[in-house]
Structures are given as C-alpha cells and as structure tokens.
C-alpha cells in the first residue's frame, strides 16, 4: 500500500530501494537515471541515502570482504554494502547502527530476490556491530576504504596532481553547496543578497566569481526569491567562469556570433546571453535536453538559436558563416563534479578516459575550423584528469600553429570554501573541478 501523507515510509523500503539504485550504477546506469526510476514517494529519502552510500562505498566494500569469505549474490551484496556504508561510523550516519541493521534485515525479508540471504545478512551485520572498531581499523590501510574511490581513480589523481591529490579526494566526499548565478541584466549581486536576507535565507558572495552567490543551506528552487522571474539560476561557481572567459577582451555588440556547443541543460547558454548582446547558437544532440535549454533561457527572458544537432558534424547544421566566439564544454568523465554526483566514481571505468579524450580531440579540431581569425574558443571540461585538460590542449597547440593559448585558469581543483588551501594553478573559493583553456586564432 502506498503510504499516506500521515504514515512514515518504513526505513526498510528506503534501504531496499537504495540497494536497487546502487546495483543499477554497478551495472552501468547513471545515478540520476537510476533515481528517476524510484517511486516518487521514496525518491527524496533514497537519493539522500544513495549519496551517502556512494561517498562511503569503498569502506563498505572493504568491510564486506572481512565479513564474507565469498562474494554474495549481486542484490544481497548491494544491500549489505548499503548498510555498511551507512553505519560503519557514527559521525554523519543518518540513523543509529542498530536501527540500520534491523531495517536492512527487514528489507531482505521483503525482497523475493534477497529473502534467502536474510540470515546471512543478519549474521554479517550482527558481527559487524560486535566487532566494529576492530573491523574498521583492519581496513584503514586500504586506499579504497580510506578515500572511497576506485583504485585506478586514486592512482590517476595522484599522478596528475601529486601535491593536491589528498585534498582533492577528500573534497570529493563532501557535499557541494547550492550556488546561484545572479542575472546581471535584472539585478546586481549585492541587491540580490539583500533580497535573500529579507527572505531569511543565509548566503554569501563568492570571493572570486562576481555573479556567484553561495547559499548556507540548499533549498528547493521554488523557495529561491526571483527564480521564476529569471533573477538567478542554479550553477556552480566554477561553471560560471566559462562565459566571461570566452568573451574576455571582446566587444559584446549585437553583431557577435557565438556558438555554445554541447550546450544542455543551458546554464552556460543563459550566462552568455546575460552578459552579451550577441547572437548565440546552442547545440545539443539530444532533443529532450534541447527542450531544457529553451525552457531555461525563456525563464531568463532571453533567447538563443537552439538546434538539435551533433557539434562534431557541422555539415548537418552549420550555415557556413564563421563564429566570433565558441564555447566547447566537451563531454568528459565528470571527475570534477563528484561532490554533486558521487555515483560517477563508481560508474566510470579507466578506459573511458581515452575514449572521451578522442571525442574531445575531434570536437576541438572540428570546431576550430569554424572560428574566424582573431576569434576566441574556450575549451573546458568538468574533469580533473590531465588527459581531458592540460594534455589535450598541449597536443592541440602542437598540431595547430594558428592557435594561441591566452591566460587561462587551467585546472581548477575542487575546493570546499574556507577548507581550501592555496594551491598552484587554482583560485580560492567553493567550486567543483574544471579545466579551462582560452584559445585565440591568429590573424592571417
């Protein structure tokens, strides 16, 4: 029976649904897609639990190896790891350990796929409760348990960022803040902060990004003052660097032709329209995601030329006129946004990096041909891997003598507010991980 508004949802139902989501990601589905399949009444609670599980799954898997001599069937293993991830330590746990163990066993009893494993799960978890401190200590030397990332990911971050890798992995396990982008066409940042204060919403301006406002606590978009009127959009501070960087040093007149390739869901498209009077073309290969671009720009009271097309095939969409500015937010591993999408680390495979790097290389080379001499192109990814950032651009520069690398942020290391340390190639603030390169085409 579907619970009424006055009947709390049993925890076992949420745990069972969470284990199904964890299994889906293990099988190659994104966490976002898996959560969309969860019944609406369960989804908020399941999302919160799943995010906690993904941020602690490395430790959970290490503990499961101590508790079970043989790997349980996939559904039972997902439920066991879900419980262990949620209760391996008291700090930050959503429920006390005894309640989680009790409700996990109850979840197994209610599942046809796991019922036969209920006694096994009960034995593992009861032993865990008895020996928790010793079991946790026995896994402390395991890097996967310590950092809650796959071995290949830890190795890659160590190689790419030998001075910052510990801070980066630690930051990836902290929830990201809710950050807004103030629409300068409608309101200035200080005035919007005053509007938030009047509504009793605590917030601060970002120290490096003028348009960014960071909320102390996340709230539903329906409660954000002026959201429906287009005063603000939800966008990470790091992502807000793209549009101003692209237009840096360029006149923002009505004649400027701007391309936003790979544009969905339209956050950067909207920002380009907010700070420029140019004509913006936004491309997206997925028709449904194209609709989101149109919806988002319409809320801002602005308009782009939105096309459902593959940016890598200009013969299908290009009108033959060169662009003054091109923003290439290339498909990538999303390794820089695991604060917001903690499933990504368990979804990705190391082989994905080379495949995506090839796609990025092709897009960069293809779109470069559409840029006028003297024009500017921003290549960016929400990745911390050098193969998708620094190395990609250096290879491009070596093969394109008409390209000039202008001063650019480079790799932005994920940071969490005041906890961030001063590191090279980076700026203080609270933002996700990105790579930015501003390229200019030489005049003939």
Residue 86's nearest CA partner among 115, 120, 48, 119 is: 48
- Rounded to two decimals, what is the model's pTM? 0.92
β-pairing verdict for 232-234 and 323-329:
unpaired
> Helix, strand, or coil here: 405?
strand
For residues 441 and 397, give the distance between their C-alpha atoms in angstroms, rounded to a whole number: 11
- Residue ending a domain, among 204, 234, 264, is 234
Which residue intervals of 68-111 are DSSP H helices?
74-87, 97-109
CATH number of 343's domain: 3.40.50.150
Task: Give me 252's structure tokens.
Answer: 């923002």
Provide the pLDDT for residue 255: 85
**C-beta separation of 80 from 125 below 8 A:** yes
Annotated catalytic, 382? yes
Residue 249 sits in the same domain as residue 363 = yes
Phi-psi region of 279 (alpha: psi -120 to 50; beta: other; left: phi over 0): beta
Give the residue with greater pLDDT, 192 vs 3. 192
The domain tally of the chain equals 3
Residue 255 sits in the same domain as residue 344 = yes
Domain interval for residue 412: 239-441
Provide the pLDDT for residue 413: 87
Residues 95, 80, 11: CA angle, nearest 5 degrees: 35
Q: What single-letter DSSP state applies at residue 431?
A: B
- Residue 40 backbone dihedrals phi, psi, to 5 degrees: -55, -35
pLDDT, tens only, 192-206: 999 999 999 999 999
Q: How much is the average pLDDT of 188-217?
A: 96
Residue 297 sits in the same domain as residue 421 = yes
Q: What single-letter DSSP state applies at residue 190?
A: H
For residues 399 and 102, give the distance between their C-alpha atoms in angstroms, rounded to a whole number: 61
pLDDT, tens only, 299-329: 999 999 999 999 999 999 999 999 999 999 9
Task: Tell me, yes or no, whether 302 lies in a domain.
Answer: yes
Which is catalytic among the residues 81, 87, 262, 382? 382
**C-beta separation of 311 from 367 below 8 A:** yes
CATH number of 89's domain: 1.10.940.10
For 418, residues 6+ apart whose C-beta sits below 8 A from its C-beta are none
pLDDT, tens only, 107-145: 999 999 999 999 999 999 999 999 999 999 999 999 999
- Residue 96 backbone dihedrals phi, psi, to 5 degrees: -70, 155
**At 424, is the pLDDT very low, low, confident or very high (cuts 50, 70, 90)?**
very low
pLDDT, tens only, 27-42: 999 999 999 999 999 9
Distances (CA, A) of 9 to 92, 263, 271: 21, 39, 40
- Residue ending a domain, among 142, 161, 189, is 142
pLDDT, tens only, 284-295: 999 999 999 999
Least confident of 209-223, 244-258, 263-277, 374-388: 244-258
């Amino acid at each position: 029976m579907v619970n009424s508004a006055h009947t709390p949802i049993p925890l076992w139902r949420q745990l069972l649904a969470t284990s199904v989501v964890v299994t889906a990601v293990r099988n190659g589905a994104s966490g976002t897609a898996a959560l969309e399949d969860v019944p609406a009444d369960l989804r908020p609670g399941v999302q919160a639990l799943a995010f906690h599980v993904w941020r602690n799954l490395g430790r959970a898997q290490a503990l499961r190896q101590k508790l079970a001599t043989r790997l349980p069937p996939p559904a039972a293993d997902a439920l066991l790891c879900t419980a262990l991830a949620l209760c391996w330590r008291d700090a930050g746990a959503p429920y006390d350990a005894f309640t989680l163990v009790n409700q996990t066993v109850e979840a197994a009893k209610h599942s046809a796929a796991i019922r036969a494993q209920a006694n096994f799960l009960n034995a593992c978890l009861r032993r865990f409760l008895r020996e928790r401190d010793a079991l946790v200590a026995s896994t402390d030397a395991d890097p996967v348990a310590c950092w809650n990332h796959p071995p290949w990911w830890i190795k890659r971050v160590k190689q790419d960022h030998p001075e910052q890798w510990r801070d980066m992995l630690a930051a990836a396990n902290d929830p990201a803040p809710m950050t807004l982008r103030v629409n300068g066409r409608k309101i200035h940042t200080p005035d919007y902060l005053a509007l938030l204060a009047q509504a009793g919403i605590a917030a601060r301006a970002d120290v490096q990004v003028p348009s960014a406002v960071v909320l102390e606590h996340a709230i539903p978009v329906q409660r954000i003052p002026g959201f429906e009127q287009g005063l603000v959009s939800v966008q990470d501070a790091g992502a807000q660097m793209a549009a101003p960087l692209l237009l840096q040093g360029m006149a923002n007149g009505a004649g400027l032709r701007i391309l936003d390739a790979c544009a969905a869901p339209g956050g950067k498209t909207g920002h380009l329209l907010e700070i420029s009077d140019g004509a913006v073309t936004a491309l997206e290969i997925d028709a449904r995601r194209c609709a989101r671009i149109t919806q988002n720009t319409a809320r801002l009271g602005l308009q782009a030329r939105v096309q459902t097309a593959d940016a890598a095939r200009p013969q299908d969409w290009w009108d033959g006129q060169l662009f003054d500015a091109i923003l290439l937010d290339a498909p990538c591993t999303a390794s820089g946004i695991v604060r917001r999408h903690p499933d990504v680390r368990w979804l990705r495979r190391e082989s994905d990096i080379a495949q995506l790097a090839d796609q990025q290389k092709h897009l960069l080379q293809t779109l470069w041909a559409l840029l006028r001499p003297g024009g500017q192109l921003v290549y960016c990814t929400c990745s911390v891997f050098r193969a998708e950032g620094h190395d990609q651009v250096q290879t491009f520069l070596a093969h394109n003598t008409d390209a000039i690398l202008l001063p650019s942020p480079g790799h932005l290391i994920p940071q969490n507010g005041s906890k961030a340390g001063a590191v090279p190639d980076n700026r203080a603030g609270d933002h996700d991980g990105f790579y930015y390169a501003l390229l200019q085409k030489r005049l003939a």
